[in-house]
Amino acid sequence: MDREEILKILKNPGNWGQKYSLWAVYFCTGCGIVEIPPVITSRWDAERFGVLPMATPRQGNLFLITGYVSIKTLGAIIRTYDQMLDPKYVVGFGSCPVNGGMYWDSYNTIKHLDTYLPVDGWIAGCMPRPEAIFIAVVHLWQMIDKGVAVGYKRYKENYEYYANNQRQVLPHLPKFERPEGGLAEGSR
């Protein structure tokens, strides 16, 4: 570690802590789970990069959405995201959250996840290899360093946009007024 890196850490220790403490919550549907176990086991060992699997959304700050996203699962994804504490980062894993993947022409497929939640990064492929996950983690580190991984702030600032898109496909979602500085307590 050189002097510049140490000065950068001392200037903003919170950024450094966020960068190297990515506690992942996985929302796995269908084939999306296939590449996650190799990443967290001894061969690839994501823990050495500070990426740890978490049991609940309240503990996590990295939300990996893997595999096919249907209208029904979108509600659970939104509830999980809303339970996570700030700062939080969303990564779409695989082709399905990006554009529907091989299910692109299904009536039940969510084709562009970023219209319902702020997505900080995408990992393309069907399914992406473990190497791609580590490339995405390093890219997310760079985004955190530069201060551009701020999807959680975009969500608060543009809450009505996201909420309207969510209600178009999930009309049963209750309407909540956005209080100053964030979402309503107990939303969704």
How far apart are alpha carbons 178 and 86 in whole angstroms? 16
Q: Does residue 85 form part of some domain?
A: yes
Q: Does residue 187 form part of some domain?
A: no
pLDDT at 175 over 90: no
Over the chain, what is the mean pLDDT? 81
pLDDT above 70 coverage of the chain, percent = 87
| pLDDT score of 171 | 86
Q: What is the CATH number of the domain that holds 112?
A: 3.40.50.12280
Q: Does residue 11 form part of some domain?
A: no
pLDDT at 9 over 50: yes
Q: What is the mean pLDDT of residues 123-130?
A: 82
pLDDT at 38 over 60: yes
Looking at this protein, which amino acid is placed at residue 89? Y
How far apart are alpha carbons 51 and 39 in whole angstroms? 10
Better pLDDT: 48 or 180? 48
How far apart are alpha carbons 35 and 140 in whole angstroms? 19
Q: What is the mean pLDDT of residues 160-174?
A: 87
Q: Does residue 12 form part of some domain?
A: no
Q: Does residue 9 form part of some domain?
A: no
The pLDDT tens digits for 56-94 are: 899 899 998 888 888 888 999 999 999 999 899 999 888
Separation of CA 81 from chain center: 8
Q: Does residue 179 form part of some domain?
A: no
pTM, two decimals, is: 0.82
| 60: containing domain | 19-169
Q: Does residue 177 form part of some domain?
A: no
pLDDT above 90 coverage of the chain, percent = 18
Domain total for the chain?
1
